[in-house]
A and B are shown apart, each in its own frame.
Chain A
């Protein structure tokens, strides 16, 4: 029996005889055949998921402004007619129709209070709470369920799950009402929502507009009498005006990579630039291109700056540290260079940064430091990462008084060498920075390019000095901005490796916008 892709597809579709099935199982006994089969099954699984998601989004896009629906899909007979209905009903109908053929996995967390006998209306579930202080009716709210009602997030970050698997990330300070499991009113603050096909129709109300989602990822910022809607994927409909004065003829559809501002009293939403760096849209750190490449280079410690309430997480975990939360209006985290988080220092806060007490030993004489930095003000004289304090330690990366990055290392003979970067670090832009020490020279790279080097003996031996991120040992020279993806190596990365990391980062940045 000849087994090719066509035959494997028939097996996966259940279109083989019993005898063919038995012979096929014999064929699978060869490991290479089993691998080929598993990859083909993965392709079927991924195709099913991807095509279902695309269809649901396309159908949502076809819901027209006047509330009627038209389908271009040529499925005769069994689709809805284009009769006018309320938009909410239509969204439900569209979702139901498509999910009938495409069941997409949603996880329900088991709840232990189902036997209470009291019907409680839960609007959302807390997936994670990162140093968040939630207040409801002037009382601290620590329950994992959010009943319908008004809330204030005074500090920290909340990750909530609404109905249909809608993920919402709220950043303090924020005031919001959880109206139902598909509607939230944001009075002030920032939130980001990721809406899977099952959650289409999820709505965010603000004082200035209603934002209806059609299967997408978007963020809303409400401050000072204006609401901004930034759409990162898919499409949302914005109905301007206070809730009692909305005129659907003024609705606008905002597509991916676009943003609008609705100001109180302004007739039409105004187009603005999308703010890709402003919103926290995921607490997880995805390992797409950059992180796997760093891991392949065998770092001693790698700090991806995930948004956690358990400190500064390291790979491996024994070099984890603490996030110095200090005090500030916003949380000590911000959107990172990729879609996850970063460490946010300075800005409107005091006493912030990161500290690792049990850092990896740096005693190989050779060394590399890789990281991303982001500057939010033109204040100079700030520490990005260092282990130098009181004549101890052996490396330091800082911003000098002119706003240029400078790297300093201490050698085994006690001498210090410093290399200054090529240009002033621009504001509101991530820069990839690499410092290497190979035992003869130190090299300093910015955005993949060698910008300076200097003769330098082997790095001084250090067993385990504390390392600070975004602050000096005595809480001065605070970095005003963000720090992300910090890695230490006990060897000097070469020019090609540095360029590879930079190139992969650019590809991932482009995709994660």
Chain B
């Protein structure tokens, strides 16, 4: 395989695996900014080490194996100040992510449609949390609420979205 074909192959495989890797990292590292940062590092490492990948095996499994090491590196660098999963649990989480791969892209698509249906106030709350990375306390200050209420509201919005995704998928795959 020449350089062009390798690059093409890698790009193709990474685009397919990226949602799984992101889900894995978001599950094991708290804070979106840090999680995105780790996903970025994993992508660079996968590209650098693509020669080591055995094309007879699933790419996502190999990528998750490397992702696990980078998550552990992150834990070490952070100390024990945040939620830290055991080595065994990180392995089980990776297996679960692989088992849930089927339908991941459909769930992403359904989410896009479900976001369109959200009331503006709920969308605004999500934007404050996910785009502007405000804490519940900061959002509470801005909206004249309490951080507890903000947390509950955000959680309800996410649960509503999860139900919407499920409903859409059930309609599409009766």
A residues touching B (Cβ–Cβ < 8 Å)? Answer: 5-6, 9-16, 18, 21, 24-25, 28, 31, 34-35, 37-52, 54-55, 73, 75, 98, 101-110, 125-129, 144, 159, 283-284, 286-289, 507, 511
Which among B14, B26, B82 is the interface contact of A42 at CB below 8 angstroms?
Answer: B26
Query: Given A51-B131, A105-B43, A284-B15 in contact, is the A43-B111 Cβ separation under 8 Å?
Result: yes
Q: List 14 A-B contacts (CB under 8 A).
A: A9-B151, A21-B83, A21-B84, A25-B89, A35-B100, A38-B27, A38-B96, A44-B158, A47-B158, A50-B111, A107-B43, A107-B47, A108-B44, A126-B4
Q: Is B27 a contact of A50 with CB atoms below 8 Å?
A: no
Query: Given A42-B104, A109-B7 in contact, is the A28-B83 Cβ separation under 8 Å?
Result: no
Q: Is B8 a contact of A159 with CB atoms below 8 Å?
A: yes
Q: Is B155 a contact of A107 with CB atoms below 8 Å?
A: no
- B67 on the interface (CB 8 Å rule)? no
Which among A34, A46, A101 is the interface contact of B93 at CB below 8 angstroms?
Answer: A34
Q: Is B3 a contact of A144 with CB atoms below 8 Å?
A: yes
Q: Is B100 a contact of A104 with CB atoms below 8 Å?
A: no
Q: Is A12 a contact of B105 with CB atoms below 8 Å?
A: no
Which among A49, A103, A127 is the interface contact of B37 at CB below 8 angstroms?
Answer: A103
Q: How far is the CA of A159 from the CA of B83 in the complex (A)?
A: 42
Q: How far is the CB of A168 from chain B (nearest CB, A)?
A: 13
Least CB separation from A110: chain B residue? B48
Q: How far is the CA of A133 from the CA of B54 in the complex (A)?
A: 31
- B117 on the interface (CB 8 Å rule)? no
Chain A proximity mask over B116-130: 1 for CB below 8 Å, otherwise 0: 000000000011001
Q: Is A11 a contact of B131 with CB atoms below 8 Å?
A: no
Q: Is A9 a contact of B131 with CB atoms below 8 Å?
A: no
Q: Is A50 a contact of B10 with CB atoms below 8 Å?
A: no
Lowest 4 A-B CB distances belong to which pairs? A14-B30, A41-B27, A128-B8, A45-B26
Q: How far is the CA of A283 from the CA of B132 in the complex (A)?
A: 35
- B154 on the interface (CB 8 Å rule)? yes
Excluding A5-B158, A9-B155, A41-B24, 14 further A-B contacts by CB distance (< 8 Å) are A5-B155, A14-B30, A25-B85, A25-B89, A34-B93, A37-B93, A42-B107, A43-B161, A46-B22, A48-B26, A51-B115, A75-B132, A102-B131, A105-B43
Query: Given A6-B152, A52-B130, A101-B133 in contact, is the A41-B8 Cβ separation under 8 Å?
Result: no
Residue of B4, B37, B80 with most partner-chain A CB within 10 A: B4
Contacts of B69 in A (CB 8 A): none
Q: Is B26 a contact of A103 with CB atoms below 8 Å?
A: no
Which among A46, A107, A108, A288 is the interface contact of B19 at CB below 8 angstroms?
Answer: A46
Contacts of A52 in B (CB 8 A): 130-131
Q: Is A128 a contact of B5 with CB atoms below 8 Å?
A: yes
Q: Is A105 a contact of B39 with CB atoms below 8 Å?
A: yes
Contacts of A28 in B (CB 8 A): 89, 92
- B33 on the interface (CB 8 Å rule)? yes
Task: Give the total of B residues in contact with A, Cβ under 8 Å.
Answer: 70
Q: Is A288 a contact of B18 with CB atoms below 8 Å?
A: no
Q: Is B36 a contact of A104 with CB atoms below 8 Å?
A: yes
Q: Is A109 a contact of B10 with CB atoms below 8 Å?
A: yes
Chain A proximity mask over B136-172: 1 for CB below 8 Å, otherwise 0: 1000000000000001101100110110010000001
Contacts of B92 in A (CB 8 A): 28, 31, 34
Q: How far is the CA of A43 from the CA of B31 in the complex (A)?
A: 14
B residues touching A (Cβ–Cβ < 8 Å)? Answer: 3-5, 7-8, 10-12, 14-15, 18-19, 22-27, 30-33, 35-37, 39-40, 43-44, 47-48, 80, 82-86, 89, 92-93, 96-97, 99-100, 104-109, 111-112, 115, 126-127, 130-133, 136, 151-152, 154-155, 158-159, 161-162, 165, 172
Q: How far is the CA of A5 from the CA of B163 in the complex (A)?
A: 12
Contacts of A73 in B (CB 8 A): 127
Q: How far is the CA of A11 from the CA of B26 in the complex (A)?
A: 11
Contacts of B85 in A (CB 8 A): 25
Q: Is B7 a contact of A127 with CB atoms below 8 Å?
A: yes
Contacts of B82 in A (CB 8 A): 14
Least CB separation from B155: chain A residue? A6
Query: Given A6-B151, A16-B83, A105-B43 in contact, is the A129-B4 Cβ separation under 8 Å?
Result: yes
Q: Is B36 a contact of A48 with CB atoms below 8 Å?
A: yes
Query: Which secondary structure characterizes the binding site on chain B?
Result: helix
Contacts of A40 in B (CB 8 A): 158, 162
Q: How far is the CA of A15 from the CA of B33 in the complex (A)?
A: 16
Q: How far is the CB of A314 from chain B (nearest CB, A)?
A: 17
Q: How far is the CA of A18 from the CA of B83 in the complex (A)?
A: 7
Q: How far is the CA of A92 from the CA of B134 in the complex (A)?
A: 24
Q: How far is the CA of A30 from the CA of B33 in the complex (A)?
A: 29
Q: How far is the CA of A31 from the CA of B131 in the complex (A)?
A: 32
Contacts of A106 in B (CB 8 A): 40, 43
Contacts of A102 in B (CB 8 A): 36, 131
Q: How far is the CA of A12 from the CA of B99 in the complex (A)?
A: 20
Contacts of A98 in B (CB 8 A): 131
Q: How far is the CB of A290 from chain B (nearest CB, A)?
A: 12
Q: Is B100 a contact of A39 with CB atoms below 8 Å?
A: yes
Which among A37, A45, A50, A109 is the interface contact of B47 at CB below 8 angstroms?
Answer: A109
Contacts of A507 in B (CB 8 A): 172
Query: Given A14-B83, A50-B115 in contact, is the A108-B47 Cβ separation under 8 Å?
Result: yes
Which among A9, A12, A284 is the interface contact of B12 at CB below 8 angstroms?
Answer: A284
Contacts of A24 in B (CB 8 A): 83
Q: How far is the CA of A25 from the CA of B111 in the complex (A)?
A: 28
Contacts of A15 in B (CB 8 A): 136, 151
Contacts of B80 in A (CB 8 A): 18
Least CB separation from A308: chain B residue? B8
Q: Is B47 a contact of A44 with CB atoms below 8 Å?
A: no
Q: How far is the CA of A75 from the CA of B131 in the complex (A)?
A: 11
Query: Given A50-B111, A144-B7 in contact, is the A38-B172 Cβ separation under 8 Å?
Result: no
Q: Is A43 a contact of B172 with CB atoms below 8 Å?
A: no
Contacts of B12 in A (CB 8 A): 284
Contacts of A75 in B (CB 8 A): 132
Contacts of A16 in B (CB 8 A): 83
Q: How far is the CB of B135 from chain A (nearest CB, A)?
A: 9
Contacts of B35 in A (CB 8 A): 45, 48
